[in-house]
């Protein structure tokens, strides 16, 4: 019985190390992403709906980078569209509100 618990503990430690490594790799990948090409000043001179277009455009660009892992999760089209918008919304600033159908 003690041998089993030692094996389980060793497995847990190995899993934790793998998770830490994956987190580190993810952080490095995020740091390699280019900085947003939008500035806060741009939103004042553009039509109201243009920020939505920019958010979706930027979101599609970022989503394509993560597409393989998200497709393996079996996302539906509605979830895909929402994620595309949210990726862009994170890049365009605080004025972006959630997409509504």
pLDDT tens for residues 11-37?
A: 888 888 888 888 888 888 877 777 655
pLDDT at 52: 74
Low-confidence ranges of the chain (pLDDT < 50): 39, 42-43
How high is the pLDDT of residue 73?
67
Please tell me the predicted confidence (pLDDT) of residue 11.
81
Q: pTM, whole model, 2 decimals?
A: 0.31
Residue 26: what pLDDT? Answer: 82
**For residues 59 and 88, is the Cβ–Cβ distance under 8 A?**
yes
CA distances from 98 to 14, 19, 44, 50, 90 (A): 39, 31, 19, 15, 11
Cα radius of gyration rounded to whole Å, the chain: 20
């Amino acid at each position: 019985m003690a041998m089993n618990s030692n094996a389980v503990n060793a497995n847990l430690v190995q899993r934790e190390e793998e998770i830490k490594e994956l987190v580190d790799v993810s952080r490095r990948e995020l740091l390699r992403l280019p900085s947003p090409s939008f500035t806060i000043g741009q939103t004042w001179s553009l039509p109201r709906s243009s920020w939505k277009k920019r958010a979706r455009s930027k979101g599609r660009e970022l989503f394509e980078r993560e597409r393989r892992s998200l497709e393996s999760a079996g996302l539906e089209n509605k979830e895909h569209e929402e994620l595309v918008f949210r990726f862009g919304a994170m890049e365009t600033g605080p004025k972006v509100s959630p997409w509504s159908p």
